[in-house]
Amino acid sequence: MSTATSPGATPPATVAPAARRESPLSRLLAVRELPVVVALVALVAVTTAVNPLFLSGQGVKDLLLNATIVMMLAVGQAMIIITRNVDLSIGSMLGLCAFGTGTMFAGDSGVPIAVVFVAMVALGGLLGAVNGMLVTVARVPALVITLGTLYVFRGINNLWAGGTQYFADDRPRAFGALSVDTVLGIPIITLVAVAVVAAVAVVMSRLRAGRDLYAIGSDPDAAAVFGIPVLRRVMAAFIANGMLVGLAGVLYASRFNSVGATTGTELELTVVAAVVVGGVAIFGGSGTVVGAAVGAFLLTTITSSLTALRIDKFWQQAVVGALIIAAIAIERIASLRAARKLREQSEREVLDV
Amino acid sequence: MSETIAAETAERPSSRLRALLLNRGAAMVYVLIVAVLLASISIDRFASPLTVGFLLLDVIPVLLIAMPMTLIIVSGEIDLSVASIVGLSSATLGVLWADGWSMPAAMAACVVVGVVAGAVNGFLIAIVGLPSLAVTIGTLALFRGLALVVIGDDAVADFPREYTRFAISKIGATGIPVVMLGVVAVVVLFGVVLHLTSFGRGLYALGHSREAARFVGIDVDRAKFWLYVAAGVVSAVVGIYWTLRYSSARSDNATGLELTVIAGVLLGGVSIFGGRGTVPGVVAAVLLIGTLNYGLRLDRVSDVVLIIVTGTLLIASVLGPRVGEAIGRVRHERRVRAALPAAGPPPQAPAEGAAPAISLESLHPSSDPAPGAANERKQR
Amino acid sequence: MKLVQVKRRGRLPVAVALVSTATLLLTACGGSDSDGGGDGGGGGGGDDLAITFIPKQLNNPYTDVVLGGGEDGASEAGFASNEVVGPLDASASSQVSFINAETQAGTNVIVIAANDPDAVCQSLEEARSNGASIVAFDSDTNPDCRDVFISQVVAKDVGLVQLEILSEQIGGSGQIAILSATANATNQNEWIRFMEEELESNPDYADIELVTTVYGDDDDTKSFQEAQGLLQAYPDLKGIISPTTVGIAATARYLSTSEYKGQVALTGLGLPNEMREFVKDGTVSEFALWDPAQLGYVAAFAGKALADGDITGAEGDTFEAGELGEKEVGENGVVIVGPPTRFNADNIDEYDF
């Protein structure tokens, strides 16, 4: 069972803490996200050594831009997975919001960019609420529900869009420029994504609403008994995820050329993989959104990296698959170790007292 | 009260029959029959041997893989990598055939590939104990990636006529494909294992919890391992069928098939939490989706409608029981309240998500108190 | 026990819900006049001829133009009914069930652009044995399973003109790469083959090196990322040829938002409406295509000629293609529509497709 990594209550100060020599180093090594960060750094280092162009100005820009959208999706998905659910419909939701963006701008409509952002985030939130409602009020398992909404939303997207596709020049130049212009070498949409990741991370670790999600994922019954409004929190998580997907949809429309009926297909498994690689346990209750964001970054970087290394691109998917499995295994070992430590600690406390 | 309980606990033969005819799986069969009848009436040319042939040919891959998938989900796990094993098997067949191997040898090699792939899944999930959802997302990418490594961007197409013809040949004038005989055999095999053997009963127990399974006497790790190997073998066979039917071995064959299979299995009444579901229900559900697909295609209705219908069916299939239970509970509550003497307000329904204490609710099989709570059963 | 009773009551509503859902949906779709038109083309022979177009995939702008021409051609040629069906994804096997449905419907002429030349063969042969005539267009099938193939231009010319344009732009020497559609697309592969042969044999191109061919699968995002990868892996790349409208648009978008704009030449086959912005901003100076509507138009007339028995697809057969005059069937059952057109800043505003 995955447990939170924080140790139990510290024993009274009078007991000599001889056994407790947790140096900063060992605490660092226990950080959940360490493996994925190390992997990312190693990957970038090796690739740059072989092909210095990898970290050129354009190269860095491309890396960041590629990762931006998956990062946002991973953050939202992490929140959901932490509560022991999953949302498979994000690809279809993204498609709807991206096409919505295209529609709002179409024909030189003159709609202000800010309005489009707000509208699509709201649309995403609405779609997320549909999922959330079906999962909480109707109490149906999220995997099944979101598999169903994956189909339904995609169908609606097809109905709405038909053969219509909106291209880059159907949108205002300033909007497209968001993916091109940089501040301090970082593209604007990436800055937006990073800000969002930071905000969500703060909510998850400091705010009651966020921490409750961990409790719900660890043990829903206990959380309920403890007085946590489980259904309300889970609903909020789904809505928040939907809003993030909506935002990602707008950013997608800024970055890529066409938006249409097939936008966003088959994204869901990539995002879940990114979240898992980033150290979030699939059973919920542990992991951080920052880890998920790094996981997303790692997965998108692998593809670019293998290309830059001129490794047969046919190996890319296999490598990604192997990596996911490795990440799961590492996470499993880490949680087993944490559980063992907790057990040993409580045994020690029993003996001490 | 006691006499009612005693009377009701006595096993009535008619109640067993009722249970059989009214359970979720049976409901799917009824829906299927209704759907086929409606389609025959309202869609031109639906009622013909051609339909039977084309429809079944389309449905065979999903039907075959749905069999081991049913057992896997009943036992509380999942396998998302099946479509990638199909692709890997297809790629292997293509490459070996192009390399000069004989067809029988190449096909045997594909089956071996399926065994190995299934064993990898089984090892990681059953022996090492990693969560199946995450692992099979990983192996989905891994096996598809290996398919790419094996065959790259090429497509092998010049398979021998006898084999490709055989894949789509029909039995006389009935229109039923010859390969259906093999498919029926597989369905019967898995159906018998699940419903008529103690191993199958053990799988249901496993879906509830490891402990329950041990009490029934099955070796949990071994059971799961072999389930995944079975899924691998069946997927590999589907890969061979797919390649021969389309006379085309490609690395991207059958992409996305896993979601179709899972949708079919879930629609057929198998609970995603494990512990519930029947093979006939799944077969009916897969055929239902196939009928809808084929019927709407024949009527030249856009695939868009198809997608929405599939998704709605899936949602309705899980929503339905909840609605039913809620209605039943409300009605029961109202009846009990009416029968109680007016001795103060009845105990409040428990706060959302709270574990039910002693209350009216405790007399009912409450739906899971918190979303995903029953997933806890899956944890080992 | 009450337990069982409640569950039983719960099951009946399930059955009822599912039955009514299915009933409603089927009667709605079966009875009404839906997208494709209720009960399409009837039996063969006589005056009531039916034609169905099966493109590579729906929701593709290039395809939509072709189909528009096909519709005009079909009504002019005298077909009683004209349908368009197709998959939403351009995968090898997705067209088969549509072909089967047409066989069952008894359609007289099937016009198909194959995603994979062989995957559709068996089902096409079944259609033929049922009396249908098969016209391939845009992307050929295996010659054994079709009667004629309508080719937009002489395949060799398509390859050569793109090479010629690029060579002019890079000054006759340097590294170039090709960004194609799917790896199996018959049409693209043929053009690429001619390009490769020309590069080997023609002394004018002696200093041009084709370093690699990558595949964007006619997916906007994938093509975009492949273009990115190309420039990372081959920093000395001077030109890219993309013989597919989705690929060239995605590559142009990438180039125009990166530092490679104006440094790396880009040409290929593009739709004027999609490429206009990139021509105006200097990313692309010249590209080629033909009039896609003519392709569909001629295909419809060829189908009529086959169904009427006027031609059999043998070399030397001729038929009238409405406004476009007489067309002759060449070697291997191939009909050429016309020469390619080159688009650049001077003439791009004259076209609207």
**B206-232 pLDDT, tens digit each:** 988 878 888 878 888 999 999 999 999
Cβ of B30 within 8 Å of Cβ of C15? The answer is yes
Q: Is A168 on the interface with C (CB under 8 A)?
A: yes
Q: What is the spatial distance between Cα B194 and Cα A326, in angstroms, rounded to a whole number?
A: 33
The least confident of A173-182, A236-245, B93-102 is: A173-182
Residue C31 has pLDDT above 60, yes or no: no
- Beta-carbon count within 10 A of B174 CB: 11
Whether C92 and C117 have beta carbons less than 8 Å apart is answered as no
pLDDT of residue A7: 45
Residue A338 has pLDDT above 60, yes or no: yes
Cβ of C60 within 8 Å of Cβ of A163? The answer is yes
Question: What is the fold of B49-328?
Answer: ABC transporter involved in vitamin B12 uptake, BtuC (1.10.3470)
pLDDT of residue C42: 40
Region C37-51 average pLDDT: 55
Cβ of C229 within 8 Å of Cβ of A307? The answer is yes
Residue C135 has pLDDT above 90, yes or no: yes
Residue A251 has pLDDT above 50, yes or no: yes
Region A265-275 average pLDDT: 86
Name the average pLDDT for chain C: 82
pLDDT of residue A29: 62
Q: What is the spatial distance between Cα B279 and Cα B271, in angstroms, rounded to a whole number?
A: 12
Rounded to a whole number, what is the distance in Å from the CA of B281 to chain A's nearest CA? Answer: 17
Residue B345 has pLDDT above 60, yes or no: no
Q: Is A11 or A116 the better-scoring residue by pLDDT? A: A116
Region B269-275 average pLDDT: 86
In a domain, A153, yes or no: yes
Residue A180 burial (10 A CB sphere; 0-12, 13-18, 19+): middle
Residue A163 has pLDDT above 60, yes or no: yes
Q: What is the spatial distance between Cα A1 and Cα A219, in angstroms, rounded to a whole number?
A: 10
Chain C residue numbers with beta carbons less than 8 Å from the beta carbon of B40 are none
Substitution target in C228, C263, C266, C278 with the highest count of A β-carbons within 10 Å is C228
Q: What is the spatial distance between Cα C162 and Cα B199, in angstroms, rounded to a whole number?
A: 65
The minimal CB distance from C232 to the residues A53, A162, A258 is found for A53
The minimal CB distance from C6 to the residues B43, B295, B332 is found for B332
pLDDT of residue C140: 87
Number of domains in chain A: 1
Region A74-93 average pLDDT: 94
Whether C304 and C286 have beta carbons less than 8 Å apart is answered as no
Region A277-297 average pLDDT: 89
In a domain, A18, yes or no: no
pLDDT of residue A27: 67
The minimal CB distance from C59 to the residues A51, A162, A313 is found for A162
Name the average pLDDT for chain B: 83
Q: Is A280 on the interface with B (CB under 8 A)?
A: no
Q: Which partners does chain B have (≥3 C-beta pairs < 8 Å)? A: A, C
Q: What are phi and psi of B39, to 5 degrees?
A: -65, -40
Chain B residue numbers with beta carbons less than 8 Å from the beta carbon of A144 are 266, 272, 314-315, 318
Q: Is A259 or C52 the better-scoring residue by pLDDT? A: C52
Residue B379 has pLDDT above 80, yes or no: no
Region A139-162 average pLDDT: 87
Whether A286 and A4 have beta carbons less than 8 Å apart is answered as yes
Cβ of A224 within 8 Å of Cβ of B352? The answer is yes
In a domain, A319, yes or no: yes
Residue A98 has pLDDT above 90, yes or no: yes
In a domain, A132, yes or no: yes
Residue C12 has pLDDT above 70, yes or no: no
Q: What is the spatial distance between Cα A90 and Cα A189, in angstroms, rounded to a whole number?
A: 19
Region C325-347 average pLDDT: 86
The least confident of C32-36, C62-66, C116-120 is: C32-36
Please enumerate residues of C whose Cβ is less than 8 A from a Cβ of A: 58-61, 63-64, 88-89, 214, 219-221, 224-225, 228-229, 231-233, 235, 246, 249-250, 252-253, 257-260, 274, 276-277
For A265-296, b/e burial (b = at least 16 CB within 10 A) is bebbbbbbbbbbbbbbbbbbbbbbbbbbbbbb
Substitution target in B150, B323, B375, B378 with the highest count of A β-carbons within 10 Å is B375
Residue B54 has pLDDT above 70, yes or no: yes
pLDDT of residue B370: 42
**B282-304 pLDDT, tens digit each:** 999 999 999 988 888 888 887 77
The pLDDT > 90 percentage for chain C reads 33
Cβ of C21 within 8 Å of Cβ of B312? The answer is yes
Cβ of A152 within 8 Å of Cβ of B303? The answer is no
Q: What is the spatial distance between Cα A8 and Cα A353, in angstroms, rounded to a whole number?
A: 15
**C87-103 pLDDT, tens digit each:** 877 777 889 989 998 99
Region A270-289 average pLDDT: 87
Please give the structure tokens belonging to residue B195: 């419903």
Q: How far is CA B176 from CA B30, B59, B168, B297, in A?
A: 22, 12, 10, 19
DSSP per-residue letters across C195-221: HHHHHHH-GGGTTEEEEEEEE-TT-HH
**B229-247 pLDDT, tens digit each:** 999 999 999 999 999 999 8
pLDDT of residue C60: 76
Residue C112 has pLDDT above 90, yes or no: yes
In a domain, A341, yes or no: no
pLDDT of residue A100: 92
The residue segments making up the domain with residue A139 are 51-330
Region B120-129 average pLDDT: 93
Q: What is the spatial distance between Cα A294 and Cα A276, in angstroms, rounded to a whole number?
A: 11
pLDDT of residue A250: 92
Rounded to a whole number, what is the distance in Å from the CA of B250 to chain A's nearest CA? Answer: 13
pLDDT of residue A13: 46
Chain B residue numbers with beta carbons less than 8 Å from the beta carbon of A158 are 302-304, 307
Q: How far is CA C216 from CA A162, B359, C246, in A?
A: 22, 62, 8
pLDDT of residue B22: 67
Cβ of A325 within 8 Å of Cβ of B139? The answer is yes
DSSP at B269: T
The least confident of A313-317, B179-183, C40-44 is: C40-44
The pLDDT > 70 percentage for chain C reads 87
**C179-217 pLDDT, tens digit each:** 999 877 888 888 999 999 999 998 888 899 999 998 888
Query: Can you give the CATH number for the domain in which A169 is found?
Result: 1.10.3470
Residue C59 has pLDDT above 90, yes or no: no
Cβ of B50 within 8 Å of Cβ of C104? The answer is yes
For A298, residues 6+ apart whose C-beta sits below 8 A from its C-beta are: A36, A39, A40, A43, A274, A277, A278, A323
Chain C residue numbers with beta carbons less than 8 Å from the beta carbon of A165 are 59, 61
In a domain, A159, yes or no: yes
Q: Which band of pLDDT confidence, cut at 50, 70 and 90, is reported for residue B2? A: very low
Q: Is A158 on the interface with C (CB under 8 A)?
A: yes
**A201-221 pLDDT, tens digit each:** 999 989 988 899 999 999 888
Q: Which residue of B has its CA nearest to C130?
A: B50
pLDDT of residue A37: 85
Q: How far is CA A12 from CA A349, A352, B287, in A?
A: 10, 10, 66
Most confident of A24-28, A331-335, B80-84: B80-84
pLDDT of residue B343: 59
Rounded to a whole number, what is the distance in Å from the CA of B108 to chain C's nearest CA? Answer: 23
Number of Cβ pairs closer than 8 Å across A and C? 77
pLDDT of residue B357: 43
Q: Is A208 on the interface with C (CB under 8 A)?
A: no
Q: Is A312 or C333 the better-scoring residue by pLDDT? A: C333
Q: Is C61 or A131 the better-scoring residue by pLDDT? A: A131
The least confident of B73-77, C100-104, C151-155 is: C151-155
In a domain, A29, yes or no: no
Q: Is A113 on the interface with B (CB under 8 A)?
A: no
Cβ of B372 within 8 Å of Cβ of A83? The answer is yes
pLDDT of residue A26: 66
Cβ of C39 within 8 Å of Cβ of B299? The answer is yes
pLDDT of residue B52: 85
Cβ of B371 within 8 Å of Cβ of A220? The answer is yes
Residue B366 has pLDDT above 50, yes or no: no
